[in-house]
Every structure is written in C-alpha cells, then in structure tokens.
Amino acid sequence: MSDMTLAIVAKNISKTYGHGASKVDVLQGINLEVNAGEKVAIVGASGSGKSTLLHLLGGLDHATSGEVVLAGNSLSHLSEAQLNHLRNQHLGFIYQFHHLLAEFSAVDNVAMPLRIRGVASKIARESAKEMLSKVGLSHRVDHRPAALSGGERQRVAVARALVAKPSCVLADEPTGNLDAETADTVFDLMLDLAKNQGTAFVIVTHDPLRAARCDRILHLHHGVLKGS
C-alpha cells in the first residue's frame, strides 16, 4: 500500500530529550500505518509517550529521527507554512480539554478550520451548523463555550475537528474530562462520524472498554509501540 492511500504513516520515529547523562529516550523506533477510515487506539501508562507520539504525528513537534508521512508528504521536509497548510487540509485534533475560543459562539468555533482554509464566512458557517446538527447541538449554535456543559463543549470540539473532513483525526484522551455517561455519548459520536465520513482516528485513551471498540489497539510501553 502506498503512502498516498494511507491516512498517516510513521517510519521508525524516535524522540529524545536532553543530552548526555540527562538524555531521555521517550519514543524508540515507532512504526505505524493507519488506513483511511481506520480507528486505532493507543494505550499505555502515564508518561509512556502517548501524547508525544500524537504531537509527532500531527507535526506539532519534530522527531529526533525517522519521519511522519501525511498525504504523501514527509513532515520533516516542510516549512512551517507548508506544515500549517497540510495540517489544516488533512488533520483534525481533539484534546482532553476542548480548547474552544471563549469569545466565539459554537458555530464560529466550528467554522474556524474552514475560515483558515479560506472558505467564505457564509459557507463556513453553514457547514459548521450542519456539523453541529450531527453532534446534536443544532439548538446551541449561538452559545459561547461558557454557556455550554462539559459534554456540549466536547461535542463542539468534535464537530470542529471533523468539519473540514480531514483524512485523520488525532484525539488525546478526548473523553477524559467527562462523566462516564457523557463520555460514552461523545465516543459513540466520534466513531459514528468517523464511519460516515471515512475519517481515520488515532485515539489515545486510558479506558480499555473504549479502546476495545476501535479497529486496533496498540500498546506504548517504555517508548516502544506494540500491537495486540
């Protein structure tokens, strides 16, 4: 399978912090291929490097060695402007904390990736409203984050990650701040939208039950990624 037919690829990536006696090898020789529409769970103990791996996959940090390939492009060979453009075109991000912009309404938060892409405001807002309807928030489009519940804010974050139809969404403990029932609702939503849009998901989670609902579970242990 070629890199162009895969959502995202990591080729022998390693990440080291510090030098000499203080050197810490956080990730060691990670290889990962994620197919279009595939849902991959990454599990591991706290401090095992899960978030670091997502940052490398998303081009938010640079690997010490190896390369990440997104849409046929090696991230290590791109300028910051090219990297930003590629991220905007092909990636979505969901974090444990929603990272919504407090001064903007739900619809304007969701429209943001499209506006950055250069989509006209009216069209971006229409697409954002449609996505908010899919996550059950058509009645909350004009509310700012402070007026939304934790679960609603996270659903807005999911809508924002998916509105531009990225090839892959990187999700770091996306339900970690929610109560069990709300977390189930948000996770179900993510999987349904992924299936309907053909979006790949790489999900870091500490929850074995949610990990089991993904297509594959990978374990990160002492910087080494292994399948199960």
CB contact at 8 A, 1 and 18: no
Closest residue by Cα to residue 36 from 188, 212, 197: 197
Reading the chain (228 residues) residue by residue, the pLDDT tens digits are: 444 478 888 999 888 887 777 777 788 888 999 888 888 999 887 777 788 888 888 888 888 888 988 878 888 878 888 888 888 888 888 876 767 888 899 999 999 988 888 889 899 999 999 989 888 888 988 999 889 888 888 889 888 888 888 888 899 887 777 777 778 877 887 888 778 878 889 998 888 888 888 889 999 888 888 875
Question: What are the structural domain ranges in the chain?
Answer: 3-227
How many Å apart are CA 70 and CA 89, to the nearest integer? 10
CB contact at 8 A, 8 and 74: no
Q: What is the pLDDT of residue 155?
A: 85
Q: What is the pLDDT of residue 73?
A: 82
Q: What is the pLDDT of residue 4?
A: 46
Q: What is the pLDDT of residue 98?
A: 67
Closest residue by Cα to residue 173 from 154, 189, 153, 192: 154
Q: What share of the chain is helix, strand, coil (3-state, %, to 5)?
A: 40, 25, 30
Lookup: tokens for 157: 């974050």
Q: What is the pLDDT of residue 217?
A: 92
How many Å apart are CA 216 and CA 171, to the nearest integer? 15
Lookup: tokens for 23: 């050197």
Alpha carbon 109 to chain centroid, angstroms = 16
Q: What is the pLDDT of residue 1?
A: 41
How many Å apart are CA 123 and CA 198, to the nearest integer? 22
Question: For domain 3-227, which CATH number applies: 1.10.4190.10, 3.40.50.720, 2.60.40.10, 3.40.50.300?
Answer: 3.40.50.300
CB contact at 8 A, 174 and 190: yes
How many Å apart are CA 53 and CA 12, to the nearest integer? 12
